[in-house]
Structure 1
Amino acid sequence: MLAGFDISLSLFAAAMVFARMGGILMLMPGIGETSIPVRLRLAFALAFCFVIGPIVAPSLPAPPDTLAGLGVTIGLETLIGVMIGAASRILLTAGAIAGQIIGYQTGLAMAQSFDPAQGQAGVLPAQFLNLIFIVIVLVTPLHQEMLLAAAGSYELMPAGQPPLWGDAAFWALELFIDAFTIGVQIASPLIVFGLVFYLGLGVLSRLMPQAQIFFIAMPLNILIGFSIMAMSLGAMVMLWTDRYERFASTLN
């Protein structure tokens, strides 16, 4: 009990669960997209808390004796939820990195539009890859694995206890490195194509100085680049999906 406040144990448990799950679901790829209305995301978070609340309630700590202690405990759970949700969002930046590289290699870097996954303007290949990854999360069991990982995060990060900040920082750094590495690996077929294509253009411009290389090369560059991207799209998606599955397994 709090001094001057009559707060039941069930209400405290509900606040604890919602603080963490709300932070995760508001940022998780697929469910936490800004294009989804906030009320729908909030309703889904509440429904999910009702489902897992009875399961995780025995592992929750006792209510603190002061109002300040209650605020610190709830704030800590919110911070853990936001941290996990942001970590899952980091892997989605692999599509933006790969799309930016592909845009430069295919000559589409200047063609930009609003990317709902990143919340800012991005090149067209990056927007396409981000939307593909979000669709893959929703149509495959990936979103189920992430929801199970969110419920299982209480074993990795017990409720009411601050996380190991050094390990958390190393975890985030590893995810950033993996996102950049995966982005480069996804764009690697286009990187090889760009090196060969522009080398060929350099040789052609030396052999035929009077030729209008720019008008000849741009349509061919876009056509071949899109063809290579279409042929390797399955491998790109599988590479990102495998890393996202391993991320979800680390929380269980």
Structure 2
Amino acid sequence: MRVDISLLPALAATFMLVFARIGAMVMLLPGFGEANIPVRVRLAIALALTLIILPLHRNDYQVSMTSIAPLLVLMIHEIIIGVVLGATARVTLSALAVAGSVIAQQLGLGFVTTIDPTQGQQGALIGNFLTMLGLALLFATDMHHLVIAALNESYKAFSPGELMSSGDVAALATRAFSTAFKIGVQLSAPFIVFGLVFNLGLGVLARLMPQMQVYFVGVPLSILGGFLILALVIATMMGTYLDYFGGVMHQLAPRS
């Protein structure tokens, strides 16, 4: 009995190319690529997804084992695609960070910072809370399935071997950042209105009663009022964010 192993080198090269795209994207994806997740766990997730997606798109790769240079160029191209897709999805979390920073400033909690477990750096306390809540809701509502679907559908939007236009990448990055900032401001809009009205009221009160210590009276009321508004609008805020995240995933890899 003879076993033909002539296809193994080409299969191994194809596996590495698929892993280059998926691994680069997984290392940046929200929920999968967080800094507090062990590297081995992220690597295991990337390998598992590669084993699942490889049979579906094996024929999309034209692998030639006669020269190593084309394989290296194709691998770099796959890594770039994975980084672009993963970074675009990662930017969606910055919308919650923007909203949290604006809310913290309006409530007088801008100086209250703590370590963001998703980034491993300092961030506004409310922003960290919204980020963790957003990640929890993404998994609770099965939105992470859209991420896995986007990995599969990305082969239709970005075929292996086809060069990505630098103009398209720049437009994608600009649109992703601008949309994230816009959504962040929209999520914090009730608190911007509250801060404006509340500070105007404090200004009028300070003019009417100069002897009153407005700061010591206003800060506790501002924090209390802000948390009451947060309790009222948190469900709507996170629902809007989930719709935004789903829209980004569909834009990254639209289904035909």
Name the TM-score, length of structure 1 as normaliser.
Answer: 0.95
Is 1:191 the counterpart of 2:192 in the alignment?
yes
- Trace 1:86-235 onto structure 2 (pairs within 5 A): 86-235=87-236
Q: Is the 8 A contact 1:12 1:63 kept in 2?
A: no
Query: Could you tell me how far apart the structure 1 residues matched to 2:8 and 2:14 are?
Result: 10
Alignment-mate amino acid for residue 180 of structure 2: A
Identity %: 40
SS in 2 for 1:34: coil
1:52 counterpart residue number? 53
1:70 counterpart residue number? 71
Query: Could you tell me how far apart the structure 2 residues matched to 1:54 and 1:87 are?
Result: 26
Q: Is the 8 A contact 1:201 1:213 kept in 2?
A: yes
SS in 2 for 1:88: helix
Report the CA distance between 1:61 and its aligned residue: 2.1
In the comparison of the two structures, how many residue pairs are matched? Answer: 247
Deviates more, 1:14-23 or 1:119-128: 119-128
Alignment-mate amino acid for residue 103 of structure 1: A
SS in 2 for 1:209: coil
Query: Could you tell me how far apart the structure 1 residues matched to 2:103 and 2:119 are?
Result: 17
Name the TM-score, length of structure 2 as normaliser.
Answer: 0.93
Q: Is the 8 A contact 1:21 1:45 kept in 2?
A: yes
Q: Is the 8 A contact 2:96 2:130 kept in 1?
A: yes
Question: Which runs of 5 or more structure 1 residues have no equivalent in the other structure?
Answer: 1-5
1:40 counterpart residue number? 41
Alignment-mate amino acid for residue 98 of structure 1: A
Q: Is the 8 A contact 1:95 1:130 kept in 2?
A: yes
2:242 counterpart residue number? 241
Question: Which runs of 5 or more structure 2 residues have no equivalent in the other structure?
Answer: 1-6
Report the CA distance between 1:8 and its aligned residue: 1.4
Query: Could you tell me how far apart the structure 1 residues matched to 2:184 and 2:65 are?
Result: 45
1:111-144, CA deviations, whole angstroms, 9 ceiling, x for partnerless residues?
Answer: 1111122332111111111111111112112100
Query: Could you tell me how far apart the structure 1 residues matched to 2:97 and 2:225 are?
Result: 21
Q: Is the 8 A contact 2:36 2:120 kept in 1?
A: no
Alignment-mate amino acid for residue 203 of structure 2: G
Q: Which runs of 4+ in 1 moved over 3 A?
A: none
1:63-89, CA deviations, whole angstroms, 9 ceiling, x for partnerless residues?
Answer: 363212211111110111011100100
Deviates more, 1:189-198 or 1:119-128: 119-128
Deviates more, 1:182-191 or 1:159-168: 159-168
1:133-161, CA deviations, whole angstroms, 9 ceiling, x for partnerless residues?
Answer: 11111211210011111111010000122
Report the aligned-residue RMSD.
1.3
Q: Is the 8 A contact 2:34 2:119 kept in 1?
A: no
Query: Could you tell me how far apart the structure 1 residues matched to 2:140 and 2:123 are?
Result: 24
